[in-house]
Amino acid sequence: VTRAERAVLAVLADERGFLSAQQIHSLLLARGDRVGLTSVYRAVQSLVAARVVDVHRTSGGEATYRRCGSESHHHHLVCRLCGRTVEIAAPGVERWVTSVTRDHGFRSATHTLEITGVCDRCTSADGNEISA
Amino acid sequence: VTRAERAVLAVLADERGFLSAQQIHSLLLARGDRVGLTSVYRAVQSLVAARVVDVHRTSGGEATYRRCGSESHHHHLVCRLCGRTVEIAAPGVERWVTSVTRDHGFRSATHTLEITGVCDRCTSADGNEISA
DNA sequence: ATCGTTGCAAATGTTTTGCATGTCA
DNA sequence: TGACATGCAAAACATTTGCAACGAT
C-alpha cells in the first residue's frame, strides 16, 4: 500500500462520481498532497487490479474512476447522458459465462459486460443533451 | 456523402463486429481503396453524428465502430494468445439485460459483453505465454 | 545496502487539426 | 471559380515507461 494509493483513495472517498486521473491529481494538489501525475496513474492501476476501484470509459475516451461499492465482481449500468451508474450483480451471467467458456475449451477466462442506456431522470428531463 | 464515407460503409457492411478506425483503414487498403487515415476518422465521425454507425469504446480506450441495425446480436469468445474467435449466442443474457435495465428505469439500452481466455489449442501448445 | 516508490522527461498510441492540394459541378 | 473533400505532417491528448534519485527497513 503506497502513499499515492492512500492519497487517491482519500480523494475518491470524498467524491461519489467518477473522476479522471487528471481530476484526481488536481484535487490532490488542491488538498496540498504533493503526488505526481505518474503516481496517480500507477495508483489507480493497482487499485483497479485490486478491485477496490471501478473504471468507466467516458465517451470522450478518458478513463474515470470511483470507489467500488463492493469488491466482488459486478457490472455497470451507465446512463450515457448524465453518467449515473448502478452497480449490478449478475450471478446467472457469471454461471453462463463459466459454462460456455468451458464448453469451448477455453481457460483462464475473464469477461466484461457493460450496459449503457438513458436513465429515468434523463428520459423525463427532455431535450437534455450531452454538452461535454 | 463523401467518397471516404462510402468506402467506410462498404467495409462495415462486410464486417459484423466492431472495427477500430485503424482496422477500417487497413481493410480499405487491402481492398485497393486509397483512402487516408485522416479521412477514415472524419468519415466515422460524421457517420456517427448521422446515427448510421454505432461507437463502442474498448477497455483499451480505442473507439470501435459498426453499422447500426446490423444487430445480429451475438458475443465473442476471444483467445488472447492466438486471437481465435468463437461467436456465441446468449438469449438468456439478452433477457436478463433487458429486464435488469427496465427494472432500473433505463431506456434505449445497449450492451457489450466480451469474454477473453486461452483456447484449447494454445493451452496444449505448451510454453506459450502472454507476451503483451 | 537493498528494495520498492517516486516523479520528471520522454516515448507511445489514438485522434484531431492546419494547411496546401485536388476535384467536381 | 467556389465550395468542399482529401491527405500529409504536426499537434493535442491521455497514458505508459525509462531512469535516476529517494526513503524506509
User: What is the residue-level pLDDT of chain A in tens, covering all 132 positions?
Assistant: 899 999 999 999 988 789 999 999 999 999 999 999 999 999 999 999 999 999 988 888 899 999 988 778 888 898 877 778 888 988 989 999 999 999 999 988 888 888 888 899 988 775 444 433
Sheet with B19-20: strands ordered across: B19-20, B63-67, B53-57
- Contact across the interface for A119 and B108, Cβ inside 8 Å: no
Residues of B with CB below 8 A from A109's CB?
77, 115-118
**pLDDT band, residue B72 (cuts 50/70/90):** low
Q: How far is A118 from chain B (nearest CA, A)?
A: 5
SS3 assignment, position B110: strand
d(CA A20, CA A29): 14
For residues B30-39, average pLDDT: 95
For chain A, give the number of residues: 132
pLDDT of residue B30: 93
**Neighbouring C-beta atoms of residue B34, cutoff 10 Å:** 10
Mean per-residue pLDDT, B24-28:
96
Residues 5-64 of B with CB under 7 A from strand C: 20-22, 37-38, 41-42, 45, 61-63
pLDDT at residue number B130: 37
- The CA distance from B21 to A51, in Å, is 31
Are the Cβ atoms of A59 and B55 closer than 8 angstroms?
Answer: yes
Q: How confident is the model at residue B11 (pLDDT cuts 50, 70, 90)?
A: very high
Let me know: does A63 contact A55? Beta carbons within 8 Å.
Answer: yes
Q: How far is CA A77 from CA A39, A119, B25, B66, B99, in A?
A: 29, 9, 32, 21, 12
* A116, burial (CB in 10 Å: exposed 0-12, middle 13-18, buried 19+): buried
Give the three cell numbers for residue A75: 457490472
Q: By a Cβ cutoff of 8 Å, what residues of chain A touch chain B?
A: 55, 57, 59, 61-63, 77, 79, 86, 88, 90, 92-93, 96-97, 100-101, 104-120, 123
Check residue B83 and give its pLDDT. 66
Say if CB B56 and CB B18 are below 8 A apart: yes
pTM comes to 0.81
Mutate: best of B104, B108, B124, partner A, most A CBs <10 A: B104
Among A44, A45, A77, A80, the strongest candidate for a mutation testing the B interface, having the largest count of B CBs within 10 A, is: A77
Q: What pLDDT digit, counting tens, does each position of B82-96 carry?
A: 667 788 888 889 899
A77 membership: H or E segment, kind and range: strand A75-79
Contact assessment for residue A11 and residue A31, using Cβ atoms and an 8 Å cutoff: yes
